[in-house]
Structure 1
């Protein structure tokens, strides 16, 4: 099972630039995690987020399955963290709205435990990326 999250944020940026900022993984700074990814992300790119706490570590492997000016889709391929993301930037009269839809599950951890920290993490990620 997985938890479904949707985060929306308005931005003064045009859709292509807003999406580009959110997908610029150099802007993402999750704690205890190193992200290896090409820039810019394109369909077919592979992203590896390696999280380490002392001797314990795991890789969150993601494949970019779609990328155009307004939409990106990533699918998690690791054994511990599973799910997918769809990130869309839609135009407004002035600027855009970025919507991050996330399905996430962690093997061995109930979804209700995953939901709150995931919601906080992805909300911060989107808000910080669009500054």
Structure 2
């Protein structure tokens, strides 16, 4: 066996070993329902909200305003939000949220308007157990 081939084989085996050991935890079903608090940082400003998520709806409080959305789960880790009573054009746009990682009491997520490429990230924390 040529020396160069042995080095490539060794490198490939090492790469497989290292990537297979790195496994991101995503227990998304734990976060389909419950009461949560979230934080999103946009342009160095932190936006906070609290929400209660049920099987098919979510009720959110942000800046002392209550907003409700219908939920359509694409899979265990992705959901589409549709505002129930939109008050302006921006609220008429559906929002796509994807859970990226989970812990025993929180999850990180990214979200965007459906069809748009610009995404924001945030973290949600479980308030009830």
* TM bracket, shorter-chain basis: 0.3 to 0.5
- Which has the higher relative contact order, 1 or 2, with Cα contacts under 8 A spaced 6 or more apart? 1
TM-score, normalising length: structure 2: 0.39
TM-score, normalising length: structure 1: 0.38
